[in-house]
Amino acid sequence: MREVTEEDRATTPEEEFHLPGLSILRDAVQNASRKVPPRNKLQQDGIAGLTTAVSSLPDGMANGLLAGVNPIYGLYACIAGPVVGGLFSSTQLMMITATSASAIMAGQTISSMPAEEREQVFFLLVVLIGVFQAVLGLLGQGRLTRFVSFSVMIGFLTGISVLLIMSQLPTVTGYEPSGNNSIIRTLDLLLHVDQVHLPTLGMAALTILLAIILQKTPLKKFFALIAIAIPSLLVFLFKLEGVKVVQDIGDISGSTPSLVVPPFSAISFEIITGAFAIAIVILIQGAGVSQSVPNKDGPGTSTSRDFVAQGAANISCGFFQGLPVGGSLGTTAINVLARAQTRWASIFSGLSMALIVIVLSRLVAHTAMPSLGAMLILAGIRSIKLSDIVSTWNSGWKSWPALLAEGATFGATLILPIPTAVGIGVLLSAFLFVTRSSTEITLVELKKRPDGKIEEHKPPKTLKGNQVTVLNVYGNLFYAGARTLEHLLPKPGNVQSPVVILRLRGRASLGATLVSVLADYSAKLQNVNGKLYLTGVSEQVYGEVVHSDKLRINGPVKAFKVTPVLGLSTHHAVVDAEAWLLERKAEPAEH
């Protein structure tokens, strides 16, 4: 008798591969070698790529400072990350570039090391991050992100979007607030509105106005660049005092990134554990970004291939003096806002950044910071998915765990360090899984109609004597779910010889808790001379029944293996149970 049929299993495309690494690598290479898109799409991708490169300048340098290394390394990451990530990523519009979360965590990992060793070990850390990500992707472990619930991911992404908006408020107002987190700094800004620098605010407002108007004109393809260029030109021509430009943040002139070989002899337990932790945080954040920009056409996204893409991007950054990179919500939102069409927008972004660093650094150095901040605020507003938030809210108070998880993750993202917020989100996802698994259990009674068709009915609370009751259970019976089933099963009561047939088709295994529940139930049936049948069981489940001491000791349990024909094993069990009941009725007459 064979095990469960293919139709009985629900598999994802990633699980169908016997060797996921080969399939994922093959698809990644096909992505990289895919033919160049039509000219009109390529032109728009070029514009979007230049826009994201310019908007990444201040953040790239700021991330370098956050990591405690030379700010130019942030720009190098904005070259290698988008090019390599764009080549291999399955999510066409996701921008793989430097992020503040990865920069902060990387800086914390090497903070205890001597200053003279820090930079070389830093690049070793980046390479190890990429290796961990690539290995997880090649092993097909993208499926693990499915355990991060939708509500938790929405809470996290919404929090990141709000953080992006609040982080740019000082840039667009010209006032530098004080405080140890974004909320306190924003409140401080609101309390000191009278200290806002009006010319700076005016340039930011002009940028937003131009961005809105230009999207409705024939110049809509270039709206982002024009919206940034015009205020920057005004600042340069009129020498508006107090309005900051890119060169006020740091010197972006420099040579191209050179190839470095990290000191692999410096690998330590601290570096390995730090790299693994950063890799996981980047992958979870990247999965959220990928979810926010699904492919409009062509093949669907693959989380495992995106793992490989981010891993390859980090390995290249490590060898070419770049910060760790990952899916960036802010830069991805700018990419979408600039009407990017294909993965070439990401590639052009990296090439544009290289051109800026090598040739155009002096020109871009005069870009007005309020304009860049205003574009990032627009991107942050656009990336807030109100429909997803409303969808969770409208699910009703029965879904209070999801609402709680979404709100808690959102709050944690605003107040706590991003790695901590991600950790809280993962724990809340586990809580949601256990809660829903234990409550979403449905038990039905199956009854045969005169025409041979099977109907589902509400199960009885108590069993009837000398009668067969066929039950089917829906839901996850792992751990808490098994205990919920225990309360749903009809009670034997004071009747004699009740028979219960429980269908378990599609169950890969029983587990210790479910075995205990079934053993206790079969014992209760045995106490009133009843019997328990299990049908549709796989070979593994059958082995658990046969070898379980509890089921063997506590009462009569009979199991029927799964068959290719739906309902056949249950039919055999019903025939066997009815014959057993007839035998029991005949026993007194024989005496």
- What are the domain boundaries of the chain? 19-247+276-433, 442-590
What per-residue confidence (pLDDT) applies to 7? 36
Q: 322: closest CA among 332, 308, 312?
A: 312
What per-residue confidence (pLDDT) applies to 33? 57
Domain covering 442-590 assigned CATH 3.30.750.24 in the classification: yes
Instruction: Pick the range with the lowest mean pLDDT from 74-78, 88-92, 248-252, 495-499.
Output: 248-252
For residue 276, what are the CA distances in angstroms to 22, 120, 555? 23, 18, 49
What per-residue confidence (pLDDT) applies to 15? 40
Higher pLDDT pick, 92 / 113 = 92
pTM over 0.75: no
What per-residue confidence (pLDDT) applies to 298? 63
Angle at 172 between CA 336 and CA 333, to 5 degrees: 10
Kindly provide the residue ranges of all beta strands, DSSP E only, lying in 451-582, ordered along the sequence.
Answer: 454-457, 468-474, 499-503, 531-537, 557-561
Check if the beta carbon of residue 84 is closer than 8 Å to that of residue 312: yes
What per-residue confidence (pLDDT) applies to 568? 93
Check if the beta carbon of residue 207 is closer than 8 Å to that of residue 337: no
Amino acid letter, residue 93:
L
Instruction: Pick the range with the lowest mean pLDDT from 1-15, 51-65, 184-198, 356-370.
Output: 1-15
Spatial distance between the Cα atoms of 200 and 415, rounded to a whole number of angstroms: 27
Higher pLDDT pick, 513 / 4 = 513
User: Taking the CB of residue 201, how many other CB atoms lie within 10 A of it?
Assistant: 17
pLDDT in tens, 300-347: 788 889 999 999 999 999 999 999 999 998 899 899 989 999 999 999
Residue 120's pLDDT band (boundaries 50, 70, 90)? confident
pLDDT in tens, 371-430: 988 888 887 888 787 877 777 677 654 566 677 778 888 888 888 876 677 778 778 777
Higher pLDDT pick, 254 / 70 = 70
Residue 194's pLDDT band (boundaries 50, 70, 90)? very high
- Average predicted confidence (pLDDT) for the chain: 84
Spatial distance between the Cα atoms of 553 and 331, rounded to a whole number of angstroms: 63
434-444 b/e (C-beta count within 10 Å ≥ 16 → b): bbbbbeebebb
What per-residue confidence (pLDDT) applies to 163? 83
